[in-house]
Structures are given as C-alpha cells and as structure tokens.
Structure 1
C-alpha cells in the first residue's frame, strides 16, 4: 500500500512542478492552480489534467500552421496602405501581426436593425449565391431563424452552389443530431462538426476536450461576409429562453475583408476535413469599393500566442483619446486586460462597460461583479442591461473606430476558444454602432459607485473566491 501512496505523491509533485514551470502562463493562473493542487491534492490533479493547459498536440498545431500558411498568399494585398488615423495605427498593426495580412481599404459595411433582420439578409444572400456558401456557427438551433438558413442552404446546394457548413460539435450538437443536418447533407452541402471529441476524450484527436470553435462566420461567393456575435438562432434562444431576448450584432461586409474572413473559415475547414481550398481561394479577390472603409479580419484561438486577444483589446483601449463604450456578456478579464481598462479610465477617457443584468452564466456574472469596485474607483461607468441578455461584443472608440466579433472579455475567449473579429475605422459605421449601444444604455441601470465599492462582506468573499477559481480555467 505504501508504494501506491509514493506513486500518487510523485504524480502530485510532478503536476505541481508542471503547473509552476509551464511557460506562458499568467502569474494569477499559476497561483490559483498551485493553491488548488495543495488544498485538494487528488481532485486538483484530476482537474489539472483535464483543464490545466490549453493542450493541443504538436501534430494538430503543425497541421493548422500548414493550412493557414498555404492560404496566406490568397489574402488581398492592397496597392496602397490604409490611411489610418495616427493614434489607432498601432491597434491595426496589432491585428495585422496576428492575421499576417494588411488592413484593407475599400470595404462597405451594413448594420441590420436586429437579429431577425440579419438572418433575413443572410438568407437573401444565400439565395442569390452563385458559387459558394461558407457558414460557421458555434450554436445553430432548429428554430425559426435556424430553419430558414437550413432551407436556404438546401436550395443553394440543390442548384449547384458549393456549400460548406461547419458548426461546433458541442455548441450545435442538437442540430448535428437532427433532420436539418441530414437535409443539408442530402441536398448536397458538405457538413462538418468542429472539434469533435469521441466519447468526450479529446486526447484521441489531439486537443483538450473543452476547446471550442466559438466563431460566427458567413461568406457568400467570396465577396460578402458576416461577422459578429450572433448565433444561427432566434432572439428567443430556446435553449436558454429564461434570459431572452438575446441581443446581438451581425454586420454584413463587402470588399477585401470578405476574403480575409473566408481564409479564416477555410483554414479551420482544411484542418478538420483535409480538403485543400487553395483552388477555391484562387479566384480574384473582392475589389476595393469606392469610398470604402478600412477594416481587418482576424481569427484567434488557443494556437495563437498567449495573450493575443488581450493585446488586441488593450491596443484599442490604449489608442482611445476621449470616450469608449464596451459591451460584453461575459466579463472576467485577465490582469492585463483589466489593467488596460483601468489605465484608460484613469487617464481621463470616458469609459462605459455594459453587461447583462441577468447572466445565463451565474459564475461569470458573479466574477464580473467582483471587478466592479476596482472599475468604479478608476472612473469606469458600469451599466447592467435589463432588456434581455446583451450578447453583443462591441467596442466603439472616439466615434470612429469599432471592434466587433465573437470574442468576449472572459478567460475562455481570451485563452481557449477559436474566435473571429473585425476592427474597422469609419465615422459612419462606428456612429451607427454607437447609436445602437446608446439604445442599450437607455434600457440599462447604472451601478452606483458607492454601491459597487461597498458590497456586503459575505458577497465579497464569495465573488473574490470565484475570481481565484475562475483564473486557471
């Protein structure tokens, strides 16, 4: 019996050393794992083996690298550099460093008035498609909007359009098991479930089981692209109807940024299916449109250098001169992102953060409130939206620059999920998004500074413990 205790003790010590020595981990996550491993030796080791690292096999990493680099030559290369406003140049360069392509001018963007209108616009584009339809959603439900898109895909595939449909294996498992999935495949569409883990054992396919593809992408004929927070579903969002309506953003783009978005889709598709899409990407890229806007699309994920999404958020905040409004449903930042937000507020930027009043993830909601005191003391104005679950992930800075996409300001989006975002510069589009944010603010309550900084003693203990527990996950 003593030998087994020695073996278990050796495993426990080895895991502690691994948690301490792993490079690229934040000090807060390192400390949290160390505390958990010491306080709960057996359970801590199991949790670490399951969730301790964003583990992806070397083979999978290499395949992803090759797939992306093979597609990079097909990214649009503008004949002239985007004339970006000086202070935001570094923000765009931060995106360019990760995407490995330049910001493109000549794009047009359309902001539909609501989620139903966005789906209607997408269906119309699919019905007008002549060559290809590429769709990737984290959650795709078989409700009214979800069914409309399924039927549009079937119609497109039946008339000979190449349809490639990708959904997350966990987020859209209901669709994958449904007749809708079969109908699209039978109509001729190619369908793929992303990041599948047979029997929940991700090590069989080379990645941590809970790594998810959280992207929301639609590209039609290679020259129309959609980006935003919206899943393929009704605002009623039946799987979590108690928090409805879900309030989202899904912006339609035309121009070179559509090709960038298509490459993000194509790289993930190639990684999962092995299909070589270089020929599909070899068509003439979308031309720059007259009087178009500057924009860049970027896909990030656990294969990106650690802190990449944090760097992107921080770069926009660091460039902000006077005012910025952030909306995010899940606010559980790492120390670097929290520091960037606090620093912007302290230097006098009018900074507003809007989160849902009732969050479908109660733990993240509690973690969000644990950060209220520090935010409030630095001058950040905090609002809780009461008109449903505000799911839109948006940043509008100085009325001229906007960031939209799938990335939340929580640890999953920052470190674990595959995400896609677009950064753009346009007084008109940023103004439209700003007015949309203002509508949300009108249906929100502002958190009083004194109330934010004087939580009850018991609440402070619980919330702050959750920030510790949440840090490593």
Structure 2
C-alpha cells in the first residue's frame, strides 16, 4: 500500500515537472530534451535533481531588489555609466556593434581615458596588489568568488587589517559557496575585529531555505578589486595562490590579470556596490566614491557584466556579436568550454569565412565532465578550420579573447552555460592595440606550451571516447 502511494506521488510529480519543463519559454529545445531524459531515466533522483537545479531563481523578489538597487545607483551617479553618443568617436565602425550591445545589456557605455598594465605573473599580481592596498588612503573594496586561506589569501587579509587600522574603509565580500572555508576561518574573524566590513554574497546560512526556495548553484563568480576608486584589478584570478590547494592535482592555476586606472574602475565600483547593497541595504549610496576622470592618452573600455537576474541569453548574444566582428584573427583561451550550439555555429562560421580562429583549452581539466563536453565539439571546430590547442603545464584558467589585434575581452566569464545562465560575472571589453598585443603575446605563450589537436588525432579517437564525449555533451544544456 505504501509503495503504491509513493509510486503514485512520484508519477504525479514526474508528470507535473515534465509539463513545467515543456511549458518554459526560457529553455532551448536541447535543454528541454535533456531534462526530460534525466527525469525519465533517473527515477526519483531525476525529480530531485530538477527540484535542486532545474529552475534559475534566487528566491522571492531577489531580482526585483537587485533591479531597484541598480536603478538607485544609476540615478545617484549617472556619470559612471557614460553616454551612448560617444561610441562612434572611440570605436572603429567594424567593432561598434558588440560595444553597443554590451551597453544596452548592462547600462555601462564605452568610456575613454583608461590605462592598464598586464601583470607578468601571479607573483607580480600579488606584489602590486598588496602594495596598492598598503598605499590606500580612503577605501578598499573587493569581491571574490574564491578566497583561500593560503599565501595570497593571508597576505590580502593582513593588508586589509593594516588598512582598517589606519582608518581606511575596507569592504570585503566573498561568495557563500566558493569561499565558505574563508568565512569560517580565524583570519576572517581577525579582519572583522580590526574593523573590516565583511559580507557574503548568496550566503548558505539557512541551507534548508536555500534548497526550498532558490537554486543552490547560482553563484557570484566575480573578481572585483577597487582601491580608492582610482585603481582596479580585473581578470580571471581568485584570491588564491597558483598552487590552488583545494585542487593541487591540476596546479598551477594559470591566470591573467590587468591593473587598471580610469573611468572603467568607476564602473567596476558601481558593480561592486550593486552586489554589496543586496546583502547590506543600509549602506549609504554616498559611501561609494566614483572617479570617472579620463587618464591622458587612455583607451576606450567598458564593463560587461551578467547574472541570472539579467535578461536571459545576454552573454552568448554579446559573445556572438563580438566574435562575428572578427576580420583577420580570433584567439580565445578558456578553461571551461560548454557552449550553447549557437556559439559553436558562430565560431565555425567565423573560421569558414576565412578568419584565423584559435582556441586554447587545458589539457587536464579539473572537471572530467567539462573535458568530455569540450572535446565533443572538437571535430566540428576542426572541420571548419579552427585551430585547437591543449595547454600542458597546468590548468589554464585565463579567460581571454582578442580580435584582429584591436579588441580584447578580459574577465571572469567562461565559455560555458554556467557563466551564461547561472553565475554573476564581470569583464572588461576594450579597444587598444598595445594592450591587445600584450595579451596576444601571452596567448602565444599559452600556445607554445600546448599540444595542437589535429583532425587526424580526433578521427582516430577510440569509439568509446567519442561515445562518452557525446553522451556527456547531450547533458550539456543542464550542466
């Protein structure tokens, strides 16, 4: 009798969730099919998996609260956003479409007068960042997805403590899942005791509430550093050593970072404020300082940010616009390649029309699922003429995109569905030949330390490998 009741309940739930999947307007056809397959081939667990991971939501009114905060910030400091009319003066016509799309999606327009340096390696990033923290006179704001209790993590925390003790306003925010060990650590408490304002984005304090009313794997994946409203750091690096002690098997983590000055720092400041105010709504808007003064001989740039509460499809649409503008060369490095099919098609089309397209992935990925999914697309890409390289010395974590030696995109976004749909991300897109040349030189270093993947090699993969890759890729829309 009890078994019959349980089976009936399960069957009713299965039908209801299947109807829900089929009725959603925000899912692609492959995603609907993937969810239906999961629901029917994994009895009981399929229903549970959909309950935990199927819906992209963060709880009651979260999106509305964020929208209200962004409107308040925009009204309070409109100069940070820039103006639509300046785009044509700063960006060549061939590349304007992607900058215009990004501005429509985020509100951040292209701002001229930015300067940036490409950090040589993790050691220089650590040294320069700590020096800037120690020179701060007004405030330090950081937001990291992962902040580890290691060399970089301890050095950063101690710099915060020193700054707070000399009267600098310090605000440190971390993601509730990615930095859960830091939040429970002794050094985190020491920061609080020293006067550092600490906060957790998307906290997991009430686990049952999170499980019932939101999706647990929607995370804040941003990496934002702002010092005195004038200096910023942007790129792929978390607050962690390259040895990345939580996954040492794949070390070193190889990242890329820029030290930036100019109006784009103010845009990152506003992005930080939007995240901070969600968890700390009583913080006065006047406590965030913005300096949009252009630097002499600076280049045009703007922030591109995205998240699960923004318009669906924003990131792949932006990347599609950006990639489609390439005329001569397109070089991309990403650790995680789980794209939607539209992005694969655009990459292939770009190669077919004669652009030299190069993609660099890690040879040994820390996710075997991502590795299999990525490799399921190799044949299509290679057939189109895309050059594929797999980086050997460690886990290539740098997210880079360069076009024609003119345009660059640097930030936290991976070319995967998590970054497209589930994570809050931040990037900078800019037009500057010199800095783009520096980034391309770094990309060429990645390529030199990689094995090229050929069509002949992929053709000779054993059937078992091809079948495994394609089975995993079938589940790609729900990964």
Q: TM-score, normalised by structure 2?
A: 0.95
Query: For residue 7 of structure 1, what is the aligned residue in structure 2?
Result: 9
Other-structure match for 2:86? 81
1:315-464 aligned at under 5 Å gives the runs: 315-464=321-470
- Secondary structure of the residue aligned to 1:41 is coil
Once the two structures are TM-superposed, the CA of residue 101 in structure 1 deviates from its matched residue by 2.6
Contact 1:372 1:453 in 2 (8 A): no
How far 1:41 sits from its partner (Å)?
3.4
For 2:28 and 2:159, how far apart are their aligned partners in 1?
45
Residue 376 of structure 1 contacts residue 453 of structure 1 at CA under 8 Å; is this kept in 2?
no
Match of 2:238 in 1: 231
Q: Is residue 471 of structure 2 the alignment partner of residue 469 of structure 1? A: no
2:92 paired with 1:90: no
1:132-153 Cα offsets, whole Å, 9 max, x none, are 1100111111211211111111
Q: Is the 8 A contact 1:228 1:406 kept in 2?
A: yes
Moved over 4 A (4+): 77-80
Residues 202 and 456 of structure 1: CA distance in aligned 2, closer, same or farther (over 3 Å): farther
Please give the alpha-carbon distance, in whole angstroms, between the structure 2 residues aligned to 1:243 and 1:164: 31
Question: Residue in 2 aligned with 1:180?
Answer: 187
**Does the CA-based 8 Å contact 1:355-1:384 persist in structure 2?**
yes
Q: Deviations along 1:351-386, whole A, 9 cap, x unmatched?
A: 000001111111111111111111111111000001
Which residue does 2:176 correspond to in 1?
169
Please say if residues 401 and 424 of structure 1, whose CA atoms lie closer than 8 Å, have aligned partners that are also in contact. Answer: yes
Measured in 2, the distance between the counterparts of 1:195 and 1:279 equals: 24
Distance 1:344 1:275 in 2: 48
Give the TM-score, by structure 1 length: 0.97
Equivalence for 1:43: 45
CA contact (8 A) 1:246 1:389 kept: yes
Please give the secondary structure, in 1, of the residue aligned with 2:70: helix
Number of corresponding residues = 472
Does the CA contact (< 8 Å) of 1:377 and 1:453 recur in 2?
no
Structure 1 residue 455 displacement after superposition: 2.5
Answer whether contact 1:203 1:209 (CA < 8 A) is retained: yes
Deviation, structure 1 residue 276? 3.3
Q: Quote the offset at 1:204 in angstroms.
A: 6.7
Cα contact 2:114–2:294 (8 A) shared by 1: yes
Q: Which moved more, 1:396-405 or 1:4-13?
A: 4-13
1:218 and 2:220 correspond? no
Distance verdict in 2 for CA 1:180–1:7, change over 3 Å: same
Unpaired runs of at least 5, structure 1: none
Report if aligned partners of 1:60, 1:206 keep a CA contact under 8 Å in 2.
no
Distance 1:249 1:202, change over 3 A: farther
Q: Of the candidates 133, 139, 145, which is equivalent to residue 138 of structure 1? A: 145
